[in-house]
Structure formats: C-alpha cells, structure tokens
Structure 1
Amino acid sequence: MSLFWRIFALNAVVLGSATALLLWAPVTVSVPVVLTEAVILIAGLAVMLVANAALLRIGLAPLDRLTRLMTTVDLLRPGHRLPEQGYGETAELIRTFNAMLERLEQERAASTARVLLAQESERRRIAQELHDEVGQTMTAVLLSLKRASDEADEPLRGELQQAQEITRGSLDEVRRLVRRLRPGVLDDLGLISALTSLTTEFATHAGLRVVRGFDSELPPLDPQAELVLYRVAQEALTNAARHAEADRVELSLRRSEGAVVLTVVDDGRGTGVAHEGAGIRGMRERALFIGATLDVTSSPRTGTQISLQLPPPPTPETNK
C-alpha cells in the first residue's frame, strides 16, 4: 500500500469511528447547544485529533528517522545506516537512501585515495627539487662564502662569515622542509625510526616535551599504512605546537588485539568539543584511505587526544 493510501486509511478509520458513534450513540444536539452536549462534542473532537496524530506519527516515523540521518550524515565517518523499517514506499526510500550512502562512501574513498596519492607524489617531487636544486645551490654559495672569507681582510671577513652563518641556517631550514615533505627515514629505516626522528625534531624546534612509547613487536604494515600513521602523527604534533599551547605531548604506537593504535595526547588548553578544522578533516581523509578509525576527544584545560586505529590484518580464513 502506498503512503497516500495508508494516510487515507488512517483518517478513514478515525472519521468512520466518529460517524458510527454519532449514529448509534444516544447523543443528540439541541438548538441552542446545551453545555453537556458541547462538552461531549469537544471531547469527541479531541479524541479524534489525538488518535489521528498518533496514527500518523506511527506511519511517518521512518521518514522522521530518515530526515534526522540525512542532516547528520558525514562521509568521513562511514557506516551510518538506517534500519529498513516500514512498508511500501517508505521501506523502498530507506533502502534507496542506504544504497546511495554506500555508493557515496565508496566514491569518496576512491577520490580520497587518488587525491592523497597525487599529494604525496607532488610532495616527493617538490622535496626532490628542493634537495637537488635549492640545496645544491645554497651549498655552492656557502662554499664560495667560505673561500671569500678566508681570503678577505677585516672587517669584510666578519661580514662574510656572518653571511655564511645565515646561509648555513637557511640550508638547514631547507633540509628540514625536505624531511617534512618526504621523510626519507621512513623509506630507509621504517616507521619507528621515522616517528622517533619526527618527535625529536618537534622537541628541538617547537620546545615541546615529547614522551614516546612504542611496542617492541608490531605487525607488519604496508607502506601506505605507515605513511598515513606518520602523517597523522605529524599533523597532531603540529596542532599541539601551534594551536593547543601545550607543553607536553605523549605519542605512542601500540598493538591492541591485533590492531595497531597510534595515540597522541597533549596537555594543552583543549576546547571541550574537538574543532573539526582542516587538519583534523585531513586526518580523517587519510584514515578513510586505509580503512582506519580516527577518534578525537578534547576536554577544557586537559588537552586533546587523537587516536588512530588500524584494522587487524586479514587472516587466511578471512581471505578464503
């Protein structure tokens, strides 16, 4: 039965019941209307309205749930589905909406994967150009300044040495940018060494006290998962240094029931409700890329906790 005919049937039942009561009940209407008759009519009208409202609420409840889900759905938090309740057009609408969500989540995951792969490729290209072009040019300038300062007399020698120190500092900054754009230590030495180098760099340049904790036996991870873990840790440390006004950060990489969990906790100001800025949205996109789950909790004056949980690797039975 379509939604129109269900609503029509509900109203027909209410109006038919009221008509039957008027026909067979020992109730008459005088002219002018007596007070008791007016009370009976008003009470009957109230009963009809309440019954009609209750029946319509029951019939339209699945549409209300669908509306609430449509206003709160977030493709970066996949898995939200509405139970297929109701009949006819309502059930078909819910099934269509759930299928649409499934399709949109798959398309979002595919587009996110393409964007992140292109982003990492561009980062690699920029890092390579900085290293090969800018780094080598600045190194040549540094050597030229060194030769010139060795042959120059005072006070020109002092000025050349000062320019040499400025150039050396700029070269160190370029090398630091290259490491942030494409961490070579991640490719060469693995995730633990890369996270150790990352936290050491933040402790040195941002003045944060970073406490590390790594499990000794972690399951093997594919390169994409390692890169996502590294980028999420990098973004979390950046947020703690720039926005949270934190003094201490704890970074841990643990194994929990076969899954790998990265946790970054700071003692910053917190917000009570974690603000979904561009940084956190980027973390969620990276988590979606590898099928991981990202949880962000923030409490006033107690800091923020970011937790990224990778799903356990598939077992042979699962592959079968």
Structure 2
Amino acid sequence: MSLFWRIFLLNAAVLVAAGALLLLGPITVSAPVVLTEAVILACGITLMLGANALLLRLGLAPLQRVTRAMATIDLLHPRPRPEVGGHGEIADLIETFNSMLDRLEAERATSSARALSAQEGERRRVAQELHDEVGQTLTAVLLELKRVTGHAPEPLRGELAHVQEITRGSLDEIRRIARRLRPGVLEELGLVSALTALTTETPTPGGLTIRRRWEKDLPELGEEAELVVYRIAQECLTNTVRHARASLLELSLRRSPDGVELRIRDDGRGIGDAPEGAGLRGMRERALLIGARLTLSSGTAGGTDVRLDVPVRNGLD
C-alpha cells in the first residue's frame, strides 16, 4: 500500500470513529452552544488529533530512521546499512538508499584504485628518473671533482673537497628520496623490513625516540595491502616528525583476530580540533581500497593513536 493511501486511510479511520461516536453516543450540540458541549467537542477534537499524530508517527518512523542515516552516514565507511522497515514507498526508499550506498562504495573503490595506481606509477617514474638521470649526473660530477682535485694546487684542494662533500650529501639525499618514492625493499624483502628501513632512514628531530615491535609469523598480505600499510605508516611517521613535537613514537605490527593490525602512537600535541586534511583523507581512502578500517583517536596520555586493521581474505593460515 502506498504512503498516500496509508495516511488517507488513517485519517479516514479517525474521522469515521469520531462521526460514529457523535451519531451513536448521547452527545448532542444545541444552538447556541453551551459551555459543557464546547468542552466536550474540544476534548473530542484533541483526542482525534492525538490519535492521528500517534498513528502517523508510528507509520512514518522508518522514514525518520532513514533520514537520520542519510544525515549521519560516513561516506568513507558507509556501513552498517539502515535496516529496511515499513511498507510501500518507505521500504522501497530504504532499499534504494542502501543500493545507492553499495554503488557509491563500489565506484569509490574503483576510482580510488585507479587514482592510487596512477599515483604509485608516477612515484615510480619520478624515482627512476631521480636515480638514473640526476643520480648518475651527480655521480659523474663527483668523479670529475675527484679528478680535478688531484691536479689542483694546494690552496684549491680544500675548497674542492668541500664541494665534493656537498655533492655527495646531495646524492645521498636524492637516493633517500627515491627510496621513499619507490620502496624497493618492500618488493624485495617484505613489509617488516620495509617498515624497519622507513623508521631508520627517516630524519628525526633531536629528542624523538622510535620504538618498533614486530610480531613473528604474521599472516601473509597481498602486494596491494602491504603497500597500503607501508604508505599509511609513512604518512603517520612524517606527520609525527613534522608536526607532533613528540618525544616517543611507538610503531607495532601484530596479528589480530581478522588479520594484521598496524598501530602508531606518539606522545605529541595530538590532533585537537584541527580539520581533516588531505593526508588523513588519503589514508582513509587507501584503507577503504583494501577493506581495512582506519581509526584515529587521542592517546590515553595525550598524543595521537592511529590503528589500521587489515583483514586477511583467505584466513590466517
């Protein structure tokens, strides 16, 4: 039955009941209306309106639930779905809304996969060019400086040696940037070795201590999931070094009931009321891409607590 006919029949039932009471009951209306009759009519109208409001409230309750779901749903993690209830158009509306969320989730996953794949491809290209073009050029400059230094007069050798050190430092920095853009150790040695290299090679301010804890015999993740875990850890580590003013950073990777849990905690300033930036949105989209759940909260003793739960699709064995 459509929503229109449900409301119409509810109102008709209330009016018919009121008319039957007037026809069959002892109540009459005289002219002019006396005070007692006016009070009885006012009470009757009030009861009719109250019954009508109650019946409409019960009939439209599922519509109010789906309205609240529409207003509060998290589009980056749109589960659980609103429960289908009611009749007619209301049930159809909830089913249509759930179908729209399913399509939105699928389209977002597809578009995120394409965007992240293009981003990783561009990072690999830039890293390759830095290594092959800029790195080789700086290597040639170092060799030439070494040759010139051997034939230069004594007063210039010190200055040329200083230029060599600057060039060598620039070459090391370019290689470090290339490794961050394209974590070759992730492909060659696995996730734990890549995270260890990440925490070791990332420049940290004085006073920041990094503690690592890796569990043994972790369930195997796919290449895509390992890359997502690495990038999220990289983003968290970068944010902590640049903005948190923390003295301690704890990074752990352990087995969870459904798969693997990555946890990153620091004792810095915390997130406070700062709006969600592009970095955090990118982390959420990466997590959504592999069906993982990202939780960001304040630590018990201040700072920031980031948790990534990565499911293993084929079980833990």
**TM-score exceeds 0.5:** yes
C-alpha displacement of 1:51: 1.5
Judge which range, 23-32 or 232-241, deviates more.
Answer: 23-32
Query: Given that residues 272 and 300 in structure 1 are in contact (C-alpha distance below 8 angstroms), is that contact kept between their aligned partners in structure 2?
Result: no
> Partner of 2:125 in structure 1?
125
The answer to whether the 8 Å contact 2:293/2:310 transfers is yes
1:294–1:309: 8 Å Cα contact kept in structure 2?
yes
- 2:6 corresponds to: 6
1:241-274 CA distance string (max 9 Å, x none): 2232222111100012351111111112224568
Deviations 1:47-94 (A, max 9, x none): 222221111111111111112212222332143311111111111121
Bigger mean CA deviation after superposition, 143-152 or 252-261:
143-152
Distance 1:299 1:249, change over 3 A: closer
How far is the alpha carbon of 1:301 from its aligned partner? 6.3
Query: Tell me, which stretches of 5 or more residues in structure 1 are unaligned?
Result: none
Alpha carbons of 1:20 and 1:273: their partners in 2 closer, same or farther (altered >3 Å)? farther
Aligned position for 1:233: 233
Deviation per residue, 1:30-63 (Å, 9 max, x gap): 5554333333222222222222111111111111
Mean alpha-carbon deviation: is it higher for 25-34 or for 114-123? 25-34
> Is the Cα contact below 8 Å between 1:62 and 1:85 reproduced in 2?
yes
The percentage of aligned residue pairs carrying the same residue is 64
Q: Deviations over 1:165-209 (max 9, x none)?
A: 22222222211110110111111211111111111123x434431
Q: Report the Cα distance in structure 2 between the residues aligned to 1:107 and 1:200, rounded to whole angstroms.
A: 38
Residue 154 of structure 1: how far off its partner (Å): 5.5
Gaps of 5+ in 2: none
Equivalents in 1 of 2:73, 2:65: separation in Å? 12
1:267 to 1:218, Cα distance in 2 relative to 1, 3 A: same
- Quote the Cα distance in structure 2 between the aligned partners of 1:268 and 1:6: 58
1:140 aligns with 2:143: no
Partner in structure 2 of residue 221 of structure 1: 221
- Contact in 2 for aligned 1:192/1:214 (Cα 8 Å): yes
1:201 maps to which residue?
Answer: 201
CA distance in 2: counterparts of 1:235 and 1:271, whole angstroms: 14
With normalisation by structure 1, the TM-score equals 0.90
Counterpart contact for 1:123–1:182, Cα < 8 Å = yes
Aligned CA distance change for structure 1 residues 222 and 267 (closer, same or farther; 3 Å): same
1:266 partnered with 2:262: no
Larger mean Cα displacement after TM superposition, 305-314 or 118-127 = 305-314
Structure 1 residue 288, shift from structure 2 partner: 1.7
1:5 maps to a residue whose letter is W
* SS state at 1:205 partner: coil
